Amino acid sequence: MNVTKKRWLKICIGLLSVLLIIDITASFYFYNLAIKRNEKDFLVGNKDLKVSAKAMDTFLEGDWRQWVSSQAFEIWDMQSRDGLELQGYFLKAKKPTNKTVIFAHGYLGRAKDMGLYGQYYYDELGYNLLTVDLRGHGQSEGDYIGFGWPDRLDLLDWIKLVLKNQGAQSEIVLHGLSMGAATVLMASGEDLPNHVKAIIADSPYTSVYDLFEYQMHRMYHLPAFPVLPTTSLVTNMQAGYSLTEASALEQVKKATVPILYIHGNNDTFVPTEMSKELYENTKSETDIITFDGANHGEAFAVQKDKYIKKLNEFLQKYVK
């Protein structure tokens, strides 16, 4: 090999090495940014998370907050299959019932945020409530966010705990919002007990990889390759799951429990098309409703009557 070819080979190897270092550095950056448990300042001012005035009034000043603070929730503790201490909050219905709803909150949320929906299930439908802090959130342990994938197995164990405490006649509804919606959908592809009668998925994403690809392009104007595949490897090393395997889409293709999809048509944080794709690929009985004028996770806050009407129709069809 002559001197010129050797020089070019060294230059190419050097450039590839630099690109590899940049790729790995960027992957750890995005892991720490989105998945590692820490403050998430990057969401502040995100235009895709703009909240309408009506929804903001409901979220911040709605009577549901006073309702949550006045309830005597029982604290339920559970150890996950990989040794994390998880915490949930159980509220027994005013009148004895075999119906229980298990709630899964959104990204960076907490269990009691789902009191927005819990108040209706409790006061109007007479359900027992179990709302849980997903791993990496609230009072639950975990130094990473699972985006629904490891959480799906935690959810199976919460279901077992409900059956242990409430009896074999229990009828269970799973209701999730955003990341929580992806969580209940990821659980839908597992071997759920026949006590689970219905799943409500409000503003879900198809997969973690799809969501990150969409957000990388929208927020940072970057292509998915090569950073996102490497971020997936980093996530697998640090958190024990890959971004590609964390797929609600693949799970609903195996679902046997009826699923209702809910999404706002103005949602630009998790595009409405993701719910439509999930709906079209769901194996079990399914339905979908979208809400004009609703941003991400706003449907209940801005069009409560329409939301409740559809929810009731769905639950009455599948829960005795």
Please count the residues of the chain: 320
What's the rounded mean pLDDT across residues 4-12?
67
Residue 46: what pLDDT?
77
The helices-and-strands tally (H runs, E runs) of the chain is: 12, 8
Confidence of residue 51 (pLDDT cuts 50, 70, 90): confident
* Structural domains present in the chain: 35-207+246-318 (3.40.50.1820)
Q: Which residue has the higher pLDDT, 50 or 20?
A: 50
Mean pLDDT (the chain, rounded): 93
Sign of CA dihedral 258, 123, 290, 250: negative
Give the pTM: 0.94
Alpha-carbon torsion, ordered 189, 192, 197, 203, to 10 deg = -40
- Residue 101: CA count within 13 A, CB half-sphere: 26
